[in-house]
Amino acid sequence: MALLDDIRTRYGLPSDQEILRGLERGETLPAEFYFAPEIQDLEQERIFSKSWQYACHESKVAKPGDYAVTTAGNIPIIITHGRDGEVRGFVNVCRHRLHAIATEDGNKPLLQCPYHGWTYGLDGRLTSAPRSERESGFDCSSRSLIPVAVERWDQWIFVNPDTGATPLAEVTRDIRARTDELNTDLREYEFQVRYEYTMDCNWKVWAENAVECYHCPTLHRSSFGRTYDTGPDDYSVAAQDRDRTIWNSGPIKWLPGDAEPERLKGFRFAFTFPSSFFALDDYVGFVGSVLPLSPERCWAFVDMYAKPGADEDIVKAWLEMWDQTLVEDKRATDCQQIGYRSARVRNGRLMLDSEHPLRAFMKATFTALSA
């Protein structure tokens, strides 16, 4: 099905075929894809409500009674570890008047809405509602929390609002050889800090920035570009349309102390559509996601980890480098959004030798919206 006709008519968008031909030539998606509210509504309906997205590390829900709050697109989600050992996910909305069940992670034998006290088991079933005995025919069993799909990807917990979605293990089957190698190393790393950033840009602007390094020698000359070799002959980028995964890798340039370059694995990065990413090098690693807040605002969180036994000064320097890098990205993507919003330049022109992952990301987005 083509993009909804009213969106095309309102914004004067080209036909689907013209947009696809433009992507093949190296043009970007039309600027309207980055600020039109109707486009974001479609993204929520056709992408975020049907996609697997990173939620948290398994340690967040390791024990019975543990629960963690997260978001998939604009859908609030709570993940629970039941007394039966099952990890489940639910829409984090009370069935009474739609208040959040929880606003932060915790551990409790039951979940109680702080608004009016409706209480749920960790399996999502409503166990009690104050004054329900005064209501004729009130049935707790008909007011359970709305379930979502939950699966583990190695040590990571992923969620999908669509309980009928293709299982995550099947979706990721073709990339497991590479992600297993990455996650095997990252499993041993220890949590350090969560970084959070709110950007005044469309979520795709931030995601597209994350999957290329053409900008690294200029924007990140004193941060990421100082730490890793980012030249076109050193830094590798790859994208696979079939599995909608983007890979980056590069050698470490800024070598602390007496580190030997040939003994280091360097930087490795994987971005899985639509919004989740993994990365690590020989000192630190991170996992995170980017989420839309509105057509022109988004939020990203990045959970930072460090290799056990790594020099504390090196870890500190690496964490500071990543924070600086991500702040620089925020400034750049905020500025980009002004250009998109002006709608005076409809399409940009990619440098496909270095930026072909962007085309893969844009094609995945467009295909999902026009399906």
What are the structure tokens assigned to 287, written together? Answer: 């996992």
Q: How would you classify the pairing of strands 156-160 and 147-153? A: antiparallel
CATH superfamily of 53-169: Rieske [2Fe-2S] iron-sulphur domain (2.102.10.10)
- CA–CA separation, 29 vs 368, rounded Å? 13
> Which helix (H) or strand (E) segment is 87 a member of?
strand 87-91
- Residue range 356-366, pLDDT digits in tens: 999 999 999 99
Residue type, 179: T
Question: CB-side exposure of 304: number of CA atoms within 13 Å?
Answer: 17
Q: What is the pLDDT of residue 175?
A: 87
Give the contacts of 188 (CB within 8 A, at least 6 positions apart).
307, 308
Report the relative pairing of strands 236-240 and 245-250 from DSSP bridges: antiparallel
Strands 276-280, 267-272: pairing kind: antiparallel
**Cβ pair 194, 302 in contact under 8 A:** yes
Tokens of 343: 């709608």
- pLDDT digits 0-9 by tens, 293-316: 999 999 999 999 999 998 898 899
Cα 202 to Cα 207: distance, rounded to the nearest angstrom: 9
pLDDT at residue 181 in the model: 83
Q: What angle do CA 199, 36, 32 make, to 5 degrees?
A: 95
C-beta of residue 306 within 8 angstroms of C-beta of residue 315:
yes
Same fold, 53-169 and 188-370: no
Stretches where the chain sits below pLDDT 70 are 1-3, 241-243, 255-259, 261
Beta strands in 161-296 (DSSP E): 190-199, 236-240, 245-250, 267-272, 276-280, 284-294
Contact (Cβ atoms closer than 8 angstroms) between residue 347 and residue 28:
yes
How far is residue 329's CA from residue 198's CA, in Å, rounded to a whole number?
11
Give me Rg for the CA atoms of the chain.
Answer: 22
Specify the fold of 188-370. Naphthalene 1,2-dioxygenase Alpha Subunit; Chain A, domain 1 (3.90.380)
pLDDT of residue 1: 52
Take residue 207 and report the two structure tokens written for it: 């995601």
Calpha distance 217→303 (Å, rounded):
25
296 CB-contact burial (10 Å; exposed 0-12 / middle 13-18 / buried 19+): buried
Under a CB-based contact definition with an 8 Å cutoff, are residues 60 and 105 in contact?
yes
**The two three-digit tokens of residue 150, written as one number:** 């939950």
- The CA–CA distances, whole Å, from 166 to 146, 149, 169, 242, 331 equal 19, 10, 8, 15, 37
Sequence-ordered alpha helix ranges (H) in the chain: 5-11, 16-25, 37-43, 168-171, 176-186, 203-210, 216-219, 224-227, 312-342, 352-370
DSSP state letter for 177: H
Domain ranges of the chain: 53-169, 188-370
CA angle 42, 45, 49 (to 5 degrees): 140
Task: State residue 263's pLDDT score.
Answer: 78
Closest of 313, 257, 263, 262 to residue 284, by C-alpha: 313
